[in-house]
Structure formats: structure tokens, C-alpha cells
Amino acid sequence: MASFREFNFHREKWSPYLMDVFNCLHNMPEPGWQEIMTTSFLKDNLERLGYETITYHDCTGVLGVRGNGSFTVALRADMDALCHQTDTGQRMIHSCGHDAHMAMVLTAAAALMELPLPAGTRVKIIFQPAEEKGEGALRLVEKGAVDDVSFLFGVHLRPGQELPGGQASPAILNGAAYLINGEIQGVSAHGARPHLGVNVIEVAAALVQMLHALRWDPLQPASIKMTRINAGTEAGNIIPDRAIFTLDLRAQTNQQLKELVQKVESVASNVAAAYGAVITLTRGIDMPAAEVSKEARDIMARAITDTVGPENLAPPILTPGAEDFHFYTRLRPHIKATMLGLGCDLYPGLHHPGMQFERAYLLDGAEILARAVWYACTET
């Protein structure tokens, strides 16, 4: 059986490979479920490395598989970009770093091809579409992509406010997120006779005020925000009778999020009754909080220490941001999973159209991921 000392990541070889891959992916940003060029690029590169590939006729994304047996260790990267309004119009931009995630995972996959796998072991490389829509992981679970996976490792660049460049964390403790789409039905009337109508803008304002008045344990981060509202027409002298809105709920645990949803439903019911309106709530995106495997986290911590030294091993990161990676463990609880948090001097922040980071740190990420897979394959 191989030991830790036998792993050798040839940085001088993989550095130019990673940068070439990153530059190609950076220049082909595509939205969720439309990552057609990205899927083709990754499939070609996986096959060139020697992986068997799996694609789907009804969605984007690609899997690379190497080896045979019942013990499978997987690496996952998300693929989709985001649409931003810029000075030159709407543009697709990899403002969440998915181009970097794919480049690190593909480089790790390349490095792992130089190592013989133990008998009965498989490595699976998962390039997942539509993370930003909160749907990609669900689709791959439905397709059985992770049914055979024992260990699953992911990665995400971290903002400079969370983690400085050169440091890495063995787990990202993402919070849970829940989007609620709502509709308010009121009664239209002339602007001179507001008492004859039910003004949905006033109802929405009352709803926001009541939601802001909710209280919960201050030691458990959570928030409720109205992030979209549309009401009224071009005619400014009509009491509007219909509004649509979206609420963004965040909590650090799945149980806490469940309690927030119940509070929102109660507040909406009470506000509607007070104004004589009808408020209808429908479920939108529901992203679970992280549930990290201690065994997977310990493997990742060892990989970090062996790559960048113990002085650059950071503790697990607590963050309110959501990530659909955690659907894999919610729906397939046998999977032992964690996500690498990579510090790379990323500013001003994720999902910002001007997001920048120090690309040299991506090589650290690729080596850490390759080591984590190798350690899981050979030492567990």
C-alpha cells in the first residue's frame, strides 16, 4: 500500500498546464445549463488524459472515471458563470471563480494519472453544471453520478475578507439558503379614493417591517431580506392590486432555516389578514447547510499541511454563502465530503464583475486536491 511520502506533485510540469486550462475556461463563460463549450472542452481534456467520460443527452456536465472497484473517491468542480450588467452591456463573467475550480480539478486529475491506483479503487472527476441555479447537484444525484462515491472533495476560492492568500481551510461551513417567491393580491382603486382599495405596496412595506422585527439567537447568524419587488403600472394614479416579490433567507444550520421559513409564513399570514390582502408564498431555491465529514476534513487538512505547511492550515470557514455541493450529502448521506477553501487574495468579492485574485495560488489548490484524493484512495 502506498504511503504519503510516495506522492509527488511535479509543480514545474503542472503550473503551465493549469494556467493554459484556466485561460481557456476563463474565456468561455457560459450560464447554467448552457455550458456546452465548457462541457466539450473538459470532455476532450479528460479523454486526452486517459479518463473514460460520461455525458448526458439532456443536460450539460461531464464525468471522468478511472479504475474499477467499489471504493470511489471523487473530485467535483462547478462550471457555470454569472451574467452581469456592465458599461458595455450584459456580459457572462466567471465572477464566482468556477473557471479556477475547474482548472484546479482538471490539473489534479492530470497529476493523479501518474500514480497507480490500488486494486478495487476508482477515481471520479465530476464537472457539475448549474451550481448558481441551485439545480446542478440535484440533477447529477438523480442520474446516479455519486451513488458509488465514498469520499467527495470540492473546492471554492475564498474572499480576502475570509482567508488571506497562501492559506487554505479543510472545510467550508456554508450556511443554508432559501428563496421564497411571493404574490400579493389587493384591490385596485382610484388614487383619490385609497380607502376603496388595498394597496399592495403598503402591504409589502408592512411585510418587510414585520420581517425585520423578527428575533432569533444572535449567536446563530441568519437573515431575511426582500430582494425583489414589482408592483404598479405606468399610471401613477391607480392603487396597485398586484405585487410579486422574492425573499432571501439565510441561516447557518438547516434546522434554523426551517424555523425561519415557519416565521415568514406566520408573518405573511398575519400581514395579509391585517390589510385584507392575499399573500401567496411559493418555494424557490432551497440550498442546505454544510454537513462536513470529520474523516474527509482530516484528509483535506493533511493534504493542506503537506502542500503549504502547517502554518498555512486555517480552521474551517464559517460563511453565510450557500453552495449546492451540500445536496450530495443531504441526498446521499453515505458520502464523506468536504470542500477546500483556498485563500488567493480575492477582491473585492465573489459575484462582483470586477473580481480578481492571485492566480499563482491555484497551483497550491490543485496539489492539495490531488493529495486529498490520493490519501483517501491509499490510506482509508
Q: What is the dihedral of CA 313, 317, 321, 326, to 10 degrees?
A: 80
Q: Please state, in angstroms and rounded to a whole number, the distance separating the CA atoms of residues 150 and 128.
A: 18
Residue closest to 323 by CA, chosen among 128, 189, 184: 128
195 a known binding residue?
Answer: no
**Do 199 and 191 contact (CB within 8 A), yes or no?**
no
Non-local CB neighbours of 131 within 8 Å, separated by 6+ positions: 32, 78, 79, 80, 98, 137, 323, 324, 325
Classify residue 239 as exposed, middle or buried by CB count within 10 Å of its CB (0-12, 13-18, 19+): buried
CA distances 283 to 9, 96, 181, Å, are 46, 25, 6
98 is in an annotated binding site: yes
* 291 marked among binding-site residues: no
30 is in an annotated binding site: no
| pTM confidence score | 0.90
Set out the domains of the chain in order of their start, with CATH numbers.
4-174+290-379 (3.40.630.10), 176-287 (3.30.70.360)
Residue by residue, pLDDT tens for the chain (380 residues) are: 344 447 899 999 999 999 999 999 999 999 999 999 999 999 999 999 999 999 999 999 999 999 999 999 999 999 999 999 998 899 999 999 999 999 999 999 999 999 999 999 999 999 999 999 999 999 999 999 999 999 999 999 999 999 999 999 999 999 999 999 999 999 999 999 999 999 999 999 999 999 999 999 998 999 999 999 999 999 999 999 999 999 999 999 999 999 999 999 999 999 999 999 999 999 988 999 999 999 999 999 999 999 999 999 999 999 988 999 999 999 999 999 999 999 999 999 999 999 999 999 999 999 999 999 999 999 88
Dump pLDDT digits (tens) for 255-287. 999 999 999 999 999 999 999 999 999 998 899
Integer Cα distance of 323 and 321 in angstroms = 7
Is 132 annotated as a binding-site member? yes
